[in-house]
Amino acid sequence: MNTATDSSVPVLLYTAAISVRWRDLDAFNHVNNSTYLTYLEEARVQWLQHLPGPWSSEHAMPVMAASTLNYRLPIEWPGEVHIELYCARMGNSSMTVAHRIVDAGDSSKLYCDGNVVMVWMDPSTGKSVALPPAIRNAASA
């Protein structure tokens, strides 16, 4: 069964399409390593905006606690990439979102993989809080 608690089969959450911009390039004429984090952030925000139901509130909002990026191939311009987001693990107040950045025309061309850990916290106390139902429901679909 494909569930968020089964660590052997991550649940696909969302796929975002991103166009490589000229300004994303570095002196070596490929996408700068720091821009990968921007692509991943954009994909997570798109995913969250597509959730049916609130994913944050005055007393529960996500922060990134950790990130791991494995750079596999350089991304060149012009180009289109897909960011695939998966639920790799779900805890009480945190979620590990695995990611893959692949070529939009050939998903076997892997540019980057890894994960981020997102923790929901109450900004007024700085303490972690339970994941919102919209997050739990999305990861168990």
- In this predicted structure, what is the pLDDT of residue 8? 62
The whole-angstrom separation of Cα 30 and Cα 52 is 36
Q: Which residues pair with 122 in a beta bridge?
A: 127
Q: Is residue 105 part of a domain?
A: yes
Q: Is residue 80 part of a domain?
A: yes
pLDDT of 75-122, one tens digit each?
999 999 999 999 999 999 999 999 999 999 999 999 999 999 999 999
Residue numbers of the domain that contains 95:
11-139
The whole-angstrom separation of Cα 70 and Cα 63 is 21
Residue 4 has pLDDT above 50, yes or no: no
What element of type H or E holds 82?
strand 80-90
Q: Is residue 1 part of a domain?
A: no
| DSSP reduced 3-state for 22 | helix
What is the pLDDT of the chain when averaged over all its residues?
93
Residue 11 has pLDDT above 70, yes or no: yes
- In this predicted structure, what is the pLDDT of residue 95? 97
Contact at 8 Å (CB) between 139 and 13?
yes
Q: Is residue 2 part of a domain?
A: no
The whole-angstrom separation of Cα 37 and Cα 105 is 21
139 confidence band (pLDDT: 50, 70, 90): confident
Q: Rounded to two decimals, what is the model's pTM?
A: 0.91
Q: What is the mean pLDDT of residues 18-29?
A: 96
- In this predicted structure, what is the pLDDT of residue 85? 98
Q: How many domains does the chain have?
A: 1
For 38, other C-beta atoms within 10 Å of its C-beta total 13
Q: Is residue 72 part of a domain?
A: yes
* Share of residues in the chain with pLDDT > 90 (%): 90
Contact at 8 Å (CB) between 137 and 53?
yes
- In this predicted structure, what is the pLDDT of residue 141? 67
